[in-house]
Amino acid sequence: MTLLVEARKSYGLTQRELAARLGKPPSFVAKIEVGERRVDVVEFIAISRAIGVPDDGLLADLAATLPGDLSI
């Protein structure tokens, strides 16, 4: 997920540091960042908080990248 990678890097965190803040192994962060693992909303908020980004800021950035019609 490019948005999370950019946020993590802009806050000067390594994958290992973010993983430690989340209480997860570094592979957890790596899999998310390369798209091997999806995150749900609760995980997204936890990651956002661990990075130090305001919850609504990163979520708003994500929403802005999505198409208007999100048919599933």
Count of CB atoms situated within 10 Å of the CB of 9? 12
Span 64-69, mean pLDDT?
A: 81
pLDDT tens, position by position, 1-11: 688 999 999 99
Where are the domains positioned within the chain?
2-59
Q: What is the CATH number of domain 2-59?
A: 1.10.260.40
Read off the pLDDT of residues 4-62 as tens digits, 9 standing for 90 and up: 999 999 999 999 999 999 999 999 999 999 999 999 989 999 999 999 988 778 888 88
Reference 58, options 37, 43, 70, 71; nearest CA is: 43
What pLDDT sits at residue 71? Answer: 65
Provide the whole-model pTM. Answer: 0.83
Helix ranges (DSSP H) in the chain: 2-10, 15-22, 26-33, 41-51, 55-65
